[in-house]
Copies of this chain bind each other. A is one copy, B any other.
């Protein structure tokens, strides 16, 4: 798996309130689809998304107030780490290497409603990673992830 981090998605309870907080810090939003907010942070992206949507999308089972992560017993803190790669084949290959290393798959690799292709795993301590190919974003040769035009 590439030694990079492309995206950190923060689950939030109120998207407008969370966006306004980061704007008040001086952050500028990048091109974003509806119901999600992207910030270009150097060669990577920080995203805000409604917490429950992020959980469902990531294959995290919601069990009352706490969401315990498989294999770790730790609660889910509402964050997903993302690795963006150049192709769907790369997603498959890198998810397989994570499985071989002992990761637990939360959502197998497959096509996504937003036009990309991704799969989700957790590491041994319940930290959730999505490996994704987003055809609307760029991954530069030196591994930077750059936002596109608001799709995806």
Contact = CB atoms under 8 A, between A and B. Distances in A.
Interface residues of A, number: 51
A81 B8 contact: yes
A114 interface: no
A77 to B, nearest CB: 1
A142 interface: yes
The list of the 10 closest CB pairs from A to B, nearest first, reads A77-B77, A24-B101, A75-B75, A1-B25, A12-B125, A3-B27, A42-B143, A5-B41, A10-B127, A4-B42
Interface of A: 1-5, 8, 10-14, 17-18, 21-22, 24-28, 39-44, 46, 51, 66, 72, 74-79, 81, 97-98, 100-103, 123-127, 142-144
